[in-house]
């Protein structure tokens, strides 16, 4: 008797295992993988019958509000669609696909949002699977990735090449790059005028820049002649639109190095007395700065095959813009040097305000005479001539114009 009871229980368990129905959700995916606010995407779910018996009256139920709130925000389906789908029968060990068209609310914020899909069959059994949907706004994002050159010079016009990249996920339209702020007001209320301004048109225009694309825009800039040598920030404003005509504006600050460069030159100034072979004269050579910035720590040296000097190197120091200094030295033309112009090589080593070295090497023409001309170290007859003229006038006056003694005056 006991054997028959055990055999009956075995048959009952066998019957349950053969006819058990177990549907489960294998996977959930979206197309595209990342969705944007205002976009409609496709949600795919794959449901598998894990038993050999056919599952009947299988249903798929999508829960868009899987965050335990009473709302499905930011998701919704089309009004003609339903969250519950009747899949009918699913043969044993078979997989079916269910597809939903889901819309994302335009005001949705970036982030991950969970959805849940449940299955249910005629036996009341089923499976559940949760999945995250990534939302990221599709918008253009313009970024300045390069600027060339990085050094501009006071008093010059420089064409600045600004390289833009669209790091966003959609094209940017009607892109305007401009230098808008021409002054800054400090916290104390002081107005500071900017030394770098646009030259010509105040902005540069590009019609479209796709996602991931790069473009180089030229911006002519005018650097004020009074600009100091120092690093400075230039505010660059970017204005552009997206495909929905939404306006975007951002301001980046470009770091530029402003340099007011010195420009050194040298000329012959004077020699007293004039230079004559074999004789020593005091020679003056002027060094002057035609640039907009000072030349600092200047050291000058002179050399020549036709002259000897009592000193060949001179510390000058700083030569400001529009200023000069002089090299004064005892110079002697060598014997045998012919009359005419002879060169003295003048070399100047200096630094600008950033400490970068500057060099001037110039051959300065200096006149040499065969002998000392009148008026330059010799006796001049000019004084004697004047005395003779005055004496002649006196003699003439006493002889012809002075009245004689006793002569009556009319």
pLDDT, tens digit, for every residue of 108-139?
888 899 999 999 998 888 899 999 999 887 78
Residues 151, 130, single domain; the answer is no
Residues 48, 95, single domain; the answer is yes
Residues 293, 228, single domain; the answer is no
Q: What is the pLDDT of residue 70?
A: 53
Residues 94, 172, single domain; the answer is no
Q: What is the pLDDT of residue 378?
A: 45
Q: Quick check: is 222 in a domain?
A: yes
Distance CA 110, CA 74 (A): 11
Residues of the chain with pLDDT under 70: 1-21, 66-71, 181-187, 191-192, 372-384, 386, 395-410
Tell the residue number behind the tokens 């819309």, with chain if given: 103
Q: Quick check: is 395 in a domain?
A: no
Which pTM was predicted? Answer: 0.56
Q: Quick check: is 24 in a domain?
A: yes
The two structure tokens encoding residue 41: 């995407």
Q: Quick check: is 375 in a domain?
A: no
Find out whether 229 and 154 touch, Cβ atoms under 8 Å.
yes
Residues 211, 272, single domain; the answer is no
Domain, as residue range, for 275? 264-368
Do the strands 128-135 and 34-35 form a parallel or antiparallel pair, or are they unpaired?
parallel
Q: Quick check: is 307 in a domain?
A: yes
Bridge partners, 203 (sequence order):
178
Distance CA 111, CA 224 (A): 48
Residues 40, 94, single domain; the answer is yes
* 215 membership: H or E segment, kind and range: strand 214-223
Find out whether 108 and 41 touch, Cβ atoms under 8 Å.
no
Residue 389 DSSP SS3: helix
Distance CA 287, CA 299 (A): 11
Count structural domains, the chain.
3
Q: Quick check: is 4 in a domain?
A: no
Q: Quick check: is 46 in a domain?
A: yes
Residues 183, 245, single domain; the answer is yes
- pLDDT tens readout for residues 269-312: 999 999 999 999 999 999 999 999 999 999 999 999 999 999 99
Distance CA 315, CA 303 (A): 15
End-of-domain residue from the set 115, 135, 155: 135
Q: What is the pLDDT of residue 18?
A: 44
Q: Quick check: is 407 in a domain?
A: no
Q: What is the pLDDT of residue 382?
A: 57
| Dihedral angle over CA of 309, 312, 314, 319, nearest 10 | 90
End-of-domain residue from the set 204, 235, 259: 259
For residue 223, give the CATH number of its domain: 2.60.40.10
Q: What is the pLDDT of residue 14?
A: 46
Residues 102, 58, single domain; the answer is yes
Residues 251, 146, single domain; the answer is yes
Q: What is the pLDDT of residue 406?
A: 47
Do the strands 95-104 and 151-153 form a parallel or antiparallel pair, or are they unpaired?
unpaired
Residues 67, 115, single domain; the answer is yes
Residues 112, 35, single domain; the answer is yes
Residues 183, 220, single domain; the answer is yes
End-of-domain residue from the set 353, 368, 383: 368
Q: What is the pLDDT of residue 397?
A: 66
The two structure tokens encoding residue 126: 């089923």
């Amino acid at each position: 008797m006991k054997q028959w009871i055990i055999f009956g229980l075995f048959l009952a368990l066998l019957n349950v295992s053969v006819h058990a129905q177990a549907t489960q959700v294998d996977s959930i995916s979206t197309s595209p993988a990342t969705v944007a606010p205002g976009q409609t995407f496709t949600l795919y779910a794959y449901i598998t019958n894990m038993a050999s018996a056919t599952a009947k009256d299988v249903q798929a139920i999508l829960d868009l509000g899987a965050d335990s709130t009473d709302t499905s925000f930011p998701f919704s389906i089309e009004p003609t669609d339903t969250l519950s789908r009747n899949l009918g029968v699913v043969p044993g060990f078979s997989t079916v696909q269910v597809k939903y068209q889901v819309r994302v609310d335009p005001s949705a914020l970036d982030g991950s949002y969970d959805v849940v899909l449940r299955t249910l069959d005629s036996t009341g059994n089923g499976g559940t699977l949760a999945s995250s949907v990534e939302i990221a706004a599709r918008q253009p994002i313009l970024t300045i990735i390069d600027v060339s050159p990085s050094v501009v010079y006071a008093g010059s016009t420089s064409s600045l090449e600004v390289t833009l990249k669209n790091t966003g996920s959609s094209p940017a339209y009607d892109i305007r790059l401009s230098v808008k702020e021409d002054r800054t007001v400090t916290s104390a209320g002081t107005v500071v005028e900017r030394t770098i301004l646009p030259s010509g048109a105040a902005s540069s225009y590009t019609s479209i820049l796709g996602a991931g694309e790069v473009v180089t825009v030229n911006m002519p800039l005018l650097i004020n002649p009074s600009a100091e040598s120092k690093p400075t920030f230039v505010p660059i404003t970017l204005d552009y639109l997206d495909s929905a005509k939404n306006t975007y504006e951002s301001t980046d600050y470009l770091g530029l190095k402003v340099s007011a460069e010195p420009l050194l030159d040298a000329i012959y100034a004077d020699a007293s007395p004039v230079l004559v072979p074999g004789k020593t004269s005091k020679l003056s050579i002027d060094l002057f700065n035609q640039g907009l910035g000072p030349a600092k720590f200047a050291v000058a040296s002179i050399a020549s095959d036709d002259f000897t000097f009592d000193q060949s190197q001179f510390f000058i120091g700083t030569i400001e813009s529009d200023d000069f200094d002089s090299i004064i030295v005892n110079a002697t033309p060598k014997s045998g040097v012919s009359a005419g112009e002879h060169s003295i090589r003048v070399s100047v080593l200096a630094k600008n305000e950033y400490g970068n070295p500057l060099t001037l090497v110039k051959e300065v023409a200096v006149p040499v005479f065969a002998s000392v001309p009148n008026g330059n170290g010799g006796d001049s007859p000019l004084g004697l001539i004047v005395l003779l003229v005055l004496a002649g006038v006196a003699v003439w006056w006493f002889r012809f114009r002075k009245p004689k003694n006793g002569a009556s005056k009319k």
